[in-house]
Amino acid sequence: MSEPRKLVHVERIPIRWGDMDAMGHVNNTVYFRYMEQARIGWFDALVPEDEAWKSTGIVVANASCNFKRAINYPGTVEVQVFTGPPGGSSVPTYYELMIAGEVHADGAATVVFIDMARQKPVRIPQTIRERLQ
């Protein structure tokens, strides 16, 4: 059984002409960029502005993507970000890349909270943990 997931953020990203490769569809690496952009939007909304990227940051411990359908220019990708239950310093995140309500890819990334000055993992701050739950 998969762990419970909660929708926490939606990011709409215009597909750029330069996102495509010689095959005429969005390059596989760009799917990870779309997930990254949505993850940063979620983080910026989650963490107080005076802390985000100053004292508290995030890094990705691992990331994966399942490619289901090619994405092509023009259009807009809607990236839905979901989270699972937080651990001590990390939280599992999940992504669905959709166009016109149809899933074109899904993915996951384990996000680790870090102390920006020390560049080391830290326990998720209580105020942020409460927002995650």
Domains and CATH numbers, the chain: 6-132 (3.10.129.10)
Q: What is the pLDDT of residue 80?
A: 98
Residue 86 contacts residue 133 (beta carbons within 8 Å): yes
The predicted structure's pLDDT at residue 2? 63
Q: What number of residues does the chain have?
A: 133
pLDDT reported for residue 1: 47
Of 39, 44, 50, give the one whose Cα is nearest residue 93: 39
Q: What is the pLDDT along the chain (133 residues), one digit of tens a residue?
A: 467 899 999 999 999 999 999 999 999 999 999 999 999 999 999 999 999 999 999 999 999 999 999 999 999 999 999 999 999 999 999 999 999 999 999 999 999 999 999 999 999 999 999 999 8
